[in-house]
Amino acid sequence: MTKPQAQKKNEEIEPRTWSLKGFLQEIKRIDNDMEDRRFAFILGAGASINSNIKGAAALAKEWMEIIYHREHETTSDYKNWLASNPLELSYWEPNNLAKHYPQIFEKCFEGDHDSGYAALEKAIKDGKPSLGYAVLAWILSSTRHRMVITTNFDNLVADAVSVYGGTYPHVIGHESLASYAKPLSRRPIVAKIHRDLFTDPKNTTEGTDELEESWVLTLKNIFKFYTPVFIGYGGNDGSLMNFLQNLGNSEISGQPFWCYYAPGGTPNDTIKQLMTKQNGALVPINGFDEFMLQMGKAIGFDRNKQIAEIKKNSEQRIDKIQEQMLSLSKETQDTDVKEILKPQNDEKKSWNWIDWELKIEESNSPQKQEKIYIEALEALPESHQLLGNYAVLLTTLNRFEEAEQFYLRAIAVNPKYANCLGNYANLLDDLARFEEAEQFYLRAIEIKPNDVDFLGNYGNLLNKLERFEEADKYITQALLISPANSLLIEINKKIQKKLNNT
């Protein structure tokens, strides 16, 4: 057998390049078969371009033009000036200004760094999470792959997770907080290794040359559990790249994947050397949004489900603030507040349910209120809020059969309308239809498990049914939330007396 020849010392080994299809198949296999393996997303400026945030190359070009115009009246000689290495930097590449981003920033804003940070704020302020961030938000909030490590200052990940993921990540925006980036956190983590925009971001040569020791320790711990997937990162800063180059071959979980923008050409030699050392793979992609959509699909992303969830969360937020407006209008004695909350015009055709309710609340006459409810329901027949609140009015008028009809209509429109479920349960309780009342109390409690009224009313029903141990459980839970509630205290005394006598 012929012995393998030793590699020559100066011979370069090209890293493996995987097709996108092969990468996606591997991601799917690991996600399905290796529950102890997680992916960490390493994001650079390229991931933010589709979100209307300028990348390092665009900003560096803009700043070089500013520097040029401080010394020249015309633009005719700009190209020659740029090629002449005007900043006298080592290994100057006029066609790759992103490589020199920190030095260009320093030169452009020397003597006035606040002006530089203002420029960064301007570059970021109009950014809105693109489709790729919406998919990333789903991954971070719905799977075990909960880690983002980024050199970016923007808040695109946090905004996307909040809006599209229905939760909020733990954002680590300063090295003094690095130890809080727990690898197995229940909450998504966003580790900003160059700090947040508002905590004196690291944007100069000195700041980006070396990674803070606290981040070194934290990232080493993270990579024990996470396989890095690099997206939109050019490796032009010294800090993260130096850290990665100094990692041993066994210090990364699995094989890293460097996903690069194919139309822009292959990554630089430093990246290739890193992937070779870590036995990683280069993966050509066509853009951040396209790639995240494809990766999301590989591990279970469903766009229809996400849209439905976003819609539900938005509607819940709107309902909550509108319910608080209505509650405040009923409780306050401040006429100015009441005036602010009143419908702002008389165009009833443009009113939503809260406008009708506020109009109804102005009247103290049940008869006038009913008349307005009938008008409102002609305009908005599918408003579960109007249906449920009209049912409450009918209950107070002892028109129980009609009230039940409207409760059921409201529940048919929105089966998760907790207040209506609880109010209907109260009606059934008063009508001694205890078995039905119990079902609706439990449905309400499932949706709002910490609602004192639901817990207390259900506990009282159980007390009436002489199911004292169960009653004690719910009344005790309600008292933990509202310990000074006199009605709950009285019910609890009765239950304890019964329990002590059995």
Per-residue b or e along 263-289, where b marks 16 or more CB atoms closer than 10 Å to that residue's CB? eeeebeeebbebbeebebbbbbbebbb
CA distance 241 to 258: 13
Residues 6+ apart with CB under 8 A from 348: 355, 375, 379
What is 16-53+126-301's CATH number, 3.30.2230.10, 3.40.50.2300, 3.40.50.1220, 3.30.300.30? 3.40.50.1220
Percent of the chain with pLDDT over 70: 95
The predicted pLDDT at position 474 comes to: 95
Given this chain, do its domains 16-53+126-301 and 322-448 carry the same CATH topology?
Answer: no
- 109, pLDDT greater than 70: yes
Average pLDDT over residues 423-441: 96
pLDDT tens by residue, 435-445: 999 999 999 99
For residue 71, the tally of other CB atoms under 10 A from its CB is 8
- What is the pTM (predicted TM-score) of this model? 0.73
- Residues 224, 248: contact at Cβ < 8 Å? no
- 170, pLDDT greater than 50: yes
pLDDT tens by residue, 173-228: 898 999 999 988 889 999 999 887 777 677 666 666 778 899 999 999 999 999 99
Confidence of residue 1 (pLDDT cuts 50, 70, 90): very low
From residue 256, how far is each of 53, 57, 260 by CA, in Å?
27, 25, 13
Residues 6+ apart with CB under 8 A from 496: 472
Confidence of residue 495 (pLDDT cuts 50, 70, 90): very high
Ranges of each domain in the chain: 16-53+126-301, 56-124, 322-448
- 407, pLDDT greater than 60: yes
Lowest pLDDT segment from 165-179, 292-306, 319-333: 319-333
Query: What does CATH list as the number for 322-448?
Result: 1.25.40.10
